[in-house]
Structure formats: structure tokens, C-alpha cells
Amino acid sequence: MGFYERLMTLDRRVVYLAMALAVAIPLFIPFGVPIYVTREVKSVYDFVESLEEGDRLLLAIDYDPNAMAELHPMALTISRQCFAKGVKLFFVTLSQNAPGMCEQLVSKLSKEFNKKNGVDYVYFGYKPYPGLVILSMGQNFRISFPMDYYGTYVDSMPIMQGIRNYDDMKAVIAFEAGWVADSWIRDANGRYKIPVALGVTGVMAADYFPYVQSKQIFGLMGGLKGASEYETLAKQEERIASRGMKVQTITHIVVILFIIVGNIGFFMSKKKKI
Amino acid sequence: MRWQFPLLIVFLGGLFMAVQYFVPLEASERVYEYALDWIIIVGVFAMCLGLWSLFRVSLAKIQTKAPAWGYNFITLAGLFAMIILGLTSGIEEGKPFMDSFWYIYTPIQSAMFALLAFYVASAAYRAFRARTLIATILLVTATIIMLRLIPLGPLSGVNQTVASWILTVPNMAAKRAIAMGIGLGGIATALKVVLGIERTYMGKD
Amino acid sequence: MDLVSILWNGLAAFLTLCIFSILYKDNPFYKLAEHLVVGVSAGYFAIILYYNSFLPKVWVPVFHEHKFYYLIPTILGVLMWTRFSRKWSWVSRYPIAAYMGIGMGVAIPLTMQAFIIVPLHATMQPMGFTSLSLFNNLLVALGVLCALIYFFFSKEHTGAFGGAATIGIWILMIGFGAGFGLTVMGRVSLLIERFTFLRDYFQQLIGLL
């Protein structure tokens, strides 16, 4: 078997090992990479930065642990920015494994900023059928959420006094790992005209650029890069996503090399056959 | 009874909800709110179907000692352990139920999806070939987008601009066309369901 | 790091490595973790459904607030469970019909608005050759048109129509290429998170020892 044929039939476990080393080694070497901020992420940052104390923001935490790596840093950074400004946050989860994500985020940040449940924020919890829940919140939050995640009546909370539906919110920022993102655009923005911004996984990011251009969403944060861009703008102490970008750089170099080597092997072995 | 009434319910429900969008009367808004409220409650019970199905299938495999039935025992043990922990300790952060979610479910789920990184690398090496013009277009575009994350010195600015242009112009055009196609398909399917032409969701007699 | 935390994180690290072991070959540790996650996730969802959905939407309204009209959707929901009976499964068509009718009815005008009319309007922007943004708008409009032409399979892709369809597939390939490039980043992010967790845990463990 020629060299190029052997190159083409390399055991996949060698590829896996190369990938594992490409991820593991940079974790032990301190270096940084430049992060270029895009217009779509800056739009979200500028909006949150323009909020004033007492303004209300709905945050939808709709991701499972499989998307936590990309979306949790975004959610943490934006929530911290809002709490620091005194913005009132309304958390909701429409994905079945997201309640745990949101509970962890809410518990961590409420202790960090000394925020009180029912006064500074409310965590509505989870309900099935995301599309219908999004529509019902446009009428009245109490239709789907008469009680919060902890079983407290929302009407007994000071933060909910005079709050009825999306009209009382400045915007929705939804952190999505699935099709519920389409529902926020179609139902929340389409019917109730509430401004919507999305934080999505890298896999989904390319699909949502049309909605930025059509102004159906006012900002888009895509994957770990989007999270790192937001962290760069927010200048907070904890920068989980930014620390991961150096590893992304090395692994992307490795993947591009794989593509190049694979194609060299393909064309050279094809040339030999001719 | 078995077909006609359900189809009538689908038709009337669908017609009302479609027309209600254009009717801003308070009475129609009330009915709309009640409909949303009640269907969410129906959804709560519908979600239990999957849980019962999992229990039934796992139990059947254990009872019949199907191959690798021991693993189904692990599945049921996990299921009942979480239910007991949840009912006894509650669902707040720091309780055993949430600790089990964070230290058992989360690492396994995250690791399972992390495996995809290895498979993507393997696919890039073994399958990503510039065999045809359109495959080459795909390959070159993917490479330019991936190069965004690699510092290229003086070329970084150029690459960032080109990548941004690709994402906001041709990629946007492609994704918009796909989304419009999906939207049209969705409307056609919804109309077929409301008009009773599409009935597969009702099962068979 | 206290002992309880060490044990919990140790369990998480063990389960992570069980999943990664599939990269070498299939083995009982991977199968154990795979089956465990199915059960744990089902149990987790059952409890969340109970506390967040059943209690506030069914139990409390009916039995504490005496809003007995909520028994109607409750009964409809329970009728869903007849799906498992061969003799009575037709009864489950009623709640399914209610959900499908409402869900589909609501979707028709909203989908038309959000995914057809607004995008069409956004595609019809001022176009020209005098500035980059005008030229980009022209490219977007032509790109959307050609890609939609590609999907029109009722007419043979020949002549000018075929030419437009060819340009359409090129545009689509650029879209898929962009998607793949971002997908690599997305998948690697998850791997980075798991490796970071393992590094931090073993570093802390070594530090304690």
C-alpha cells in the first residue's frame, strides 16, 4: 500500500487522539488570542447597557446541559450585567432540562449580588408546549405561570405588581439550543412585537442571520465565539468563554490540517491510479 | 364518533385560532386565553406518555430477561432514584435531587455531545473531499469561516471582513430561502391538518 | 474542596470518562452511563413536570382554589393515556385533536407573517451598483431567488431556469459551508468544557493529596 493510500486509511482512533491532544495541551499553556467583536453581538451589549435601574427584561434559559458550554457563559454575563445595573430580571425555561441550568444561574447570581427572589427577580419555571407558552405570556404571564419555580404565587411578589405581559418588558433575550428560537421570533416578536435577541449554539448561528437583517431580532450571539465577544465587551472578571477561545484556535488549526491532508491524500492517490 | 368528531374539533379549533389573530375583540381574546391555558394542561399529561412508555419497555426487558437486561435495571433505578429524591428533598439548588442532576445527568449529557467533536474531526479527515465544484465551494467557505478563530497577523482583518460578508450576504440568502421553504411547507401541513386531509397523527383504527 | 464535593465531582469525572471510553471501543462502562442517563433524565423531567406544571396548573387550582372548570382539560389530558390501550386508543384522538387544531390554527397566520411576508419584505431592499450595501442587497435578492428556484422541482432544470438553479445550489453550498464552519466551533466547545472540568478536578485532587 502506498503512502497516500495509508494516509487515507488512517485508523480513526489516531484522529481522535490528535483531537484530544489539540484540546488538552492548550489548557495547560497560558496564552491568549484576540477576540474580534461583531456587529450582531455589539447590538445586544449596547441594548443591555442602555437599560436603566428598574427596567424589566425577560430572559429565556432554553438550553440543556449539552449546550451549556456555549450558552451558560452568555446567560451568566448578561444576567450579571443586568443585576449590576439594577435591572429586574424575569427568568423562564421552556426546554425540559433547562430548569436545572436556570436554577443554578439564579442561585449563584442572587447570592453574588444579594438579590431577593420576588423583589429583584422572578424565576417562573417550566411549562410544556413552548410555542403556546410564549403566546400565553403575550396575553398574561399568569396564564402559564400562576406560581413561580418554587411554588410561590406570582401575585404575592412585589416585582409582579402591575406586570401583565410582554408590553411591560423592554425585551426578551432567549438562549436557545433548539427550535424554540423560531417560536420566539414567530410568536413573541411576530404577534406581540416585543424586541427579541437570541443567543444560540454554534451549530444554529448561521441560520439566524436572516432574522437580524429583517430586524425580527435585534442581536445574535453565536456559540462560544459570541459568548467570548460579549465577555470582551462586558469586561467582567469571570470570562469562561474567552478562556476557551485559545483552545478553539488550536483545534480549528488541527481540523483545517485534517481537511488539507485528507484532500492531498485523495488527489495524490487518484493521480497515481491514473 | 371515532373519526368525525375529532376531525371536527381540529377544524373548528384551527379555524378559530387562525381567525382570532385578526379579531381584536375582548371576547375572542378571552376564548384564546382559555384555549392556551387548557391546552398547556393537556400537555402536562401528554408528557407523561413518554415516561410511562420508558417504564413499560424497560420492565418488559427485565421480565423477559432480554439481552443486556441488566442495563434496563440501571435505567429504572436511575428513574426511581430521581423521583424519590425529588419528592423527598425538593428541587432547589443544593438539594440531592439537583446534585444528582448536576453530577450525574449533566456530565453524561455534556460528554455525549462532546464526542461529536471527535466525529467532526474524523469526518473532516475522511469524508471532506473537493470532488466536485459544489463540494469545493462548501469546503472553501467552511475553511474561511473556521479561519475567523485563528490569528492570521496582517490577514486577520481581511479574513474577518470576508467571513462577516459571507455570513451576512450569501449565507443569509441561502438560509432565508431555506427558511421560506420550510415556512411554506409548515403552512401547507397546518392547512392539511386543519382541513382533515392529513390524519396520520390520529393513528389507526 | 470538601469530601462531599470531591465525591460528587469524582462521580461526574468517572461518568465523563465512561462516555469517552466509546472512542476506543464499545464497553460496559459506556453502556452503564448511557442507560443511567436515560433513567435519570426521565426521572428529572417527571419531577420538574410535577412541581412546575402539575401542582400549579392542576392540583392547586382544582383542589385548593376550587376552580373546577380546570377538570375539563384535566380529563382531556387523562384521556391521552388511553393511547396505550388497543381497545380504547381511539379516545385519545379527542385531546390530540384539540391540541393539533389549536396548535396548527395559531401557526398559520404567524408562520405566514414571520417566515414569508417579513423575510420577503426584507429581501426587497433598495438595490444597485453605486455602493457596497446596495450591491449586497442585490446579491441577497438574487441569491434568495436562485436558491428558491433550485427547490422548484416541478419544472426541469434546463436553460435559463437551470442556470438560475445552478447559481442557487452554489449559494446553498456557501450557506452549508458557513454552517459547517460554525458547527466545528460548536462541537469543540462542548469538548473544551468537559476537558476543562477534568483538568480542574484532577488538579484540585492532586493539590489535596
| Alpha carbon distance B114, C179 (integer Å) | 18
Per the prediction, chain A carries an average pLDDT of: 94
A217-250 burial string, b = 16+ CB within 10 Å, else e? bbbbbbbbbbbbbbbbbbeeeebbbbbbbbbbbb
CA gap B24, B11 in Å, rounded: 21
Interface test with B, best of A68, A101, A209, A224 (most B CBs within 10 A): A209
Interacting residues of A39 by C-beta distance below 8 A, sequence separation 6+: B164
Q: Is the pLDDT of residue C191 over 80?
A: yes
**Which chain A residue's Cα is nearest to B129?**
A263
Give the A window 36-95 contacts with B, CB below 8 Å.
Answer: 36, 38-39, 64-69
How confident is the model at residue C151, as a pLDDT?
A: 93
What is the DSSP code (8-state) at residue A129? -
* Helix, strand or coil, per DSSP, at residue B196: coil
For A237-274, give the secondary structure using H, E and C. Answer: CCCHHHHHHHHHHHHHHHHHHHHHHHHHHHHHHHHHHC
The whole-number pLDDT of residue B111 equals: 96
* CA atoms within a 13 Å half-sphere pointing along the CA-CB vector of C58: 23
Average pLDDT of each block of 10 consecutive residues along chain B (205 residues)? 90 94 91 94 91 93 92 95 96 93 96 94 89 93 93 89 95 96 95 92 77
C-alpha cell read off for C52: 412546575
pLDDT at A274: 64
- pTM: predicted TM-score of the whole model, two decimal places: 0.94
Question: What average pLDDT does this structure show over A15-26?
Answer: 94
Of B42, B112, B201, which is closest to C19 when you measure between CB atoms?
Answer: B112
Residue among B71, B44, B164 nearest A220 (CA):
B164
In a domain, A243, yes or no: no
Asked whether the beta carbons of residue A107 and residue B168 sit closer than 8 angstroms, the reply is no
**Closest Cα partner for A135 from A127, C46, C73?**
A127
Q: Taking CB atoms and an 8 Å cutoff, what residues of chain A touch C103?
A: 129, 131-132
> In angstroms, rounded to a whole number, what is the distance separating the alpha carbons of residues A69 and A244?
10
Q: Which domain holds residue A118?
A: 39-238
| Cβ contacts of B12 on chain C, cutoff 8 Å | 101
In C, which residues are within 8 Å of B140 by CB distance?
177
Residue A244: which of C107, C115, C192 has the nearest Cβ? Answer: C192
Which of C47, C55, C92, C196 should one mutate to test binding to chain B, selecting the residue with the greatest count of B CBs within 10 A? Answer: C47
| One domain, residues A9 and A68 | no
Residue B91, all three cell numbers: 428541587
Asked if B109 lies within 8 A of C39 by C-beta distance, the reply is no
Is residue A166 scored above 80 in pLDDT?
yes
Rg of chain A on CA atoms, in Å:
22
* C 109-168: CB under 8 A from B: 109-112, 114-116, 119-120, 122-123, 136, 139-140, 142-144, 147-148, 150-151, 168
Supply the pLDDT for residue A267: 86
Question: Minimal Cα–Cα distance from C209 to chain B, Å?
Answer: 22
* Touching subunits for chain C (3+ Cβ pairs under 8 A): A, B
Taking the mean position of all CA atoms in its chain, how far away is CA A192?
23
Tell me what the mean pLDDT of segment A201-230 comes to: 96
Q: A143 and A52, same structural domain? A: yes
Specify whether A257 is located in the same domain as A231. Answer: no
Percentage of chain C lying above the pLDDT 70 cut? 100
Distance from the A52 Cα atom to the nearest Cα atom in chain C, whole angstroms:
30
Closest CA to A141 of C103, C114, B40: B40
pLDDT at res. A4: 75
DSSP per-residue codes, B105-165: IHHHHHHHHHHHHHHHHHHHHHT----SHHHHHHHHHHHHHHHTTS--GGGHHHHHHHHHH
Is residue A75 scored above 90 in pLDDT? Answer: yes
Of the candidates C48, C99, C190, the beta carbon closest to that of B110 is on C190
The residues near A36 (Cβ < 8 Å, ≥ 6 apart) are A229, B148, B156, B160
pLDDT digits (tens, 9 = 90+) for A77-114: 999 999 999 999 999 999 989 999 999 999 999 999 99
| Closest by Cβ to C185, choosing from A28, A210, A248 | A248
Quick one: A137 and A267 in the same domain?
no
| Residue pointed to by grid coordinates 442517563 | C37
d(CA B162, CA B172): 14
Instruction: Taking residues C17-21, report their average pLDDT.
Output: 96
Residues A66 and A133 in one domain: yes
Could you give the percent of chain C with pLDDT greater than 90? 88
Nearest CB partner across the interface for B12, out of C18, C92, C101: C101
Give B57's contacts in chain C (Cβ within 8 Å). none
Q: Is B4 left (phi over 0), alpha (psi -120 to 50) or beta?
A: alpha
Rg (CA), chain B: 26
**Burial class for B204, CB neighbours closer than 10 Å (0-12, 13-18, 19+):** exposed
Domain residue spans in chain C?
126-209
Chain B residue numbers touching A247 (CB-CB < 8 A): none
What was the ipTM of the complex prediction?
0.91
Shared-domain flag, residues A54 and A160: yes
Q: Which residues of C155-172 are buried (b: 16+ CB within 10 A; e: fewer)?
A: eebeeeeeebbbbbbbbb
Say how far apart CA B80 and CA B87 lie, in whole Å: 11
Partner residue opposite A266 with nearest CB, options B46, B129, B143: B129
Contact across the interface for A99 and B91, Cβ inside 8 Å: yes
Domain ranges, ordered by start, for chain B: 1-81, 180-205
Beta-carbon-side half-sphere exposure of residue C64 (alpha carbons within 13 Å): 8
DSSP character at residue A125: E
Q: Is the pLDDT of residue A190 over 90?
A: yes
Q: By the 8 A CB rule, do B190 and C107 touch?
A: yes
pLDDT band for position C69 (cuts 50, 70, 90): very high
The whole-angstrom separation of Cα C126 and Cα C137 is: 7
Tell whether A91 is within 8 A of chain C (Cβ). Answer: no
* Confidence category of residue C208, pLDDT binned at 50, 70, 90: confident
Q: How many domains does chain A divide into?
A: 2
Co-location of A177 and A73 in the same domain = yes
Asked whether C34 and C15 are in contact (CB, 8 A), the reply is no
Say if the Cβ atoms of A136 and B36 lie within 8 Å: yes
Listed residue (A91, A27, A81, A87) closest to A59, CA to CA: A91
Q: How far is C131 from chain B (nearest CA, A)?
A: 15
Q: Which residue has the higher pLDDT, A233 or B3?
A: A233
CATH number of the domain enclosing A158: 3.40.50.10160
